[in-house]
């Protein structure tokens, strides 16, 4: 290669790199970036795909993952109930939830089964264990090896309440025991010491430690996240949107058009020089 052409070659590489680089990073301090800036509630750090209802908009994360912050405690609303969020682990993609109702109860009485509907991208973790509670049963459990829960005993009322690790209650259920209610509560497996009466004495503390849910990529968001964007929800169109690194909002994916127009023009010029 003759010397002038060599210089031109090197120059065009520099131009190519700077143009394309600058193009992809332009306006990265745009309003969406500041609007969705990471926040926190108490000691919980809140950022994508979670967002803080008082500060962010549904634009900033998954619609179901909007948290409230009350007196330094993060709160999430699930279809079944409202829970404190005591931990968000962005590496393992998991959250720890505690039933708000039971936190101040000495002998916690869960009112709801946790139900996760399919359209919420949350699922039970492998760290969990289900406890099966039977409340106010008018029949006694036939085996003497199963003790009723003492702290719910009302004097003068013959009915008893029982707790089992879900699946361990034998063939008996609320029908046979004639119980008022059956509620399944999820706790962390390692918080329950099942042997030696640990379950009856320990379920209250275990419930206060909460349970773990894993989150997965929302179906609508896969294309966007894979392309490096942040997936939000647009109240107006009622559809998910994709916020790209340059701050612009696209429908699905940031990949298309990553090599922007100016960048492409320089590319073409570059190859034109190579050929000549």
Ligand X SMILES: *[C@@H]1O[C@H](CO)[C@@H](O)[C@H](O)[C@H]1NC(C)=O
Cβ atoms < 10 Å from Cβ of 180: 12
Among 33, 105, 139, 258, binds ligand X (CB under 6 A): 258
The contact pattern for ligand X, residues 63-92, with x = CB under 6 A and - = no contact, is: -----------------------xx-----
Rounded to whole angstroms, how far apart are CA atoms 84 and 210? 9
User: Of residues 131-160, which lie at the interface with ligand X (CB under 6 A)?
Assistant: 135-136, 152
Among 68, 81, 101, 128, binds ligand X (CB under 6 A): 128
- Check binding of 35 to ligand X (CB under 6 A): no
Rounded to whole angstroms, how far apart are CA atoms 191 and 193? 7
Among 102, 151, 183, 222, binds ligand X (CB under 6 A): 183
Rounded to whole angstroms, how far apart are CA atoms 175 and 260? 67
Cβ atoms < 10 Å from Cβ of 251: 12
Among 8, 119, 257, 274, binds ligand X (CB under 6 A): 257
Collapsing DSSP to helix, strand or coil, 152 comes out as: helix
Q: 113 or 158, CB closer to ligand X?
A: 113
Among 140, 182, 208, 217, binds ligand X (CB under 6 A): 182
Collapsing DSSP to helix, strand or coil, 132 comes out as: strand
Q: Is residue 60 exposed (0-12), middle (13-18) or buried (19+ Cβ within 10 Å)?
A: buried
Q: 64 or 169, CB closer to ligand X?
A: 169
Q: Residue 8 CB, nearest distance to ligand X (Å)?
A: 28
Q: 90 or 273, CB closer to ligand X?
A: 90
Interacting span for ligand X (CB under 6 A) from 199-207, 216-224, 251-259, 266-274: 251-259
- Check binding of 127 to ligand X (CB under 6 A): no
Task: Please list, in sequence order, all residues whose beta carbon lies within 8 angstroms of the beta carbon of residue 237, skipping any fewer than 6 positions away.
Answer: none
Let me know: does 142 contact 187? Beta carbons within 8 Å.
no
Q: H or E segment at 208?
A: helix 198-209
- Nearest CA-CA partner of 62 in 71, 53, 54: 53
- Check binding of 113 to ligand X (CB under 6 A): yes
**Chain residues that interact with ligand X, rule: CB under 6 A:** 26-27, 43, 86-87, 109, 113, 124, 128-130, 135-136, 152, 161, 166, 181-184, 186, 244, 246, 248, 250, 254, 257-258
């Amino acid at each position: 290669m003759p010397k002038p052409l060599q210089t031109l070659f090197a120059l065009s590489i520099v131009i190519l790199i700077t143009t394309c680089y600058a193009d992809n990073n332009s306006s990265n301090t745009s309003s969406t970036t500041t609007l969705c800036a990471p926040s926190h509630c108490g000691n919980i750090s809140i950022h994508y795909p979670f967002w803080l209802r008082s500060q962010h908009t549904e634009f900033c994360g998954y619609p179901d993952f909007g948290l409230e912050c009350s007196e330094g405690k993060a709160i999430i609303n699930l279809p079944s109930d409202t829970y404190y969020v005591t931990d968000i682990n962005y590496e393992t993609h998991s959250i720890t939830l505690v039933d708000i109702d039971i936190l101040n109860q000495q002998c916690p009485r869960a009112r709801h089964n946790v139900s996760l509907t399919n359209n919420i991208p949350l699922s039970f973790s492998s760290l969990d264990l289900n406890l099966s509670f039977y409340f106010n049963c008018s029949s006694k459990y036939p085996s003497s090896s199963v003790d009723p829960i003492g702290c719910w005993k009302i004097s003068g009322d013959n009915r008893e309440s029982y707790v089992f690790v879900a699946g361990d209650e034998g063939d008996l259920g609320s029908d046979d025991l004639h119980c008022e209610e059956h509620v399944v509560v999820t706790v962390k497996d390692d918080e329950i010491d099942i042997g030696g009466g640990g379950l009856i004495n320990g379920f209250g503390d275990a419930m206060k430690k909460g349970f773990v849910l894993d989150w997965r990529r929302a179906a609508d968001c896969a294309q966007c996240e894979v392309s490096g964007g942040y997936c939000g929800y647009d109240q107006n169109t009622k559809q998910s949107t994709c916020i790209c690194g340059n701050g612009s909002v696209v429908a699905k994916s940031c990949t298309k058009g990553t090599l922007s127009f100016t960048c492409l023009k320089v590319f073409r010029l570059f190859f034109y020089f190579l050929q000549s």
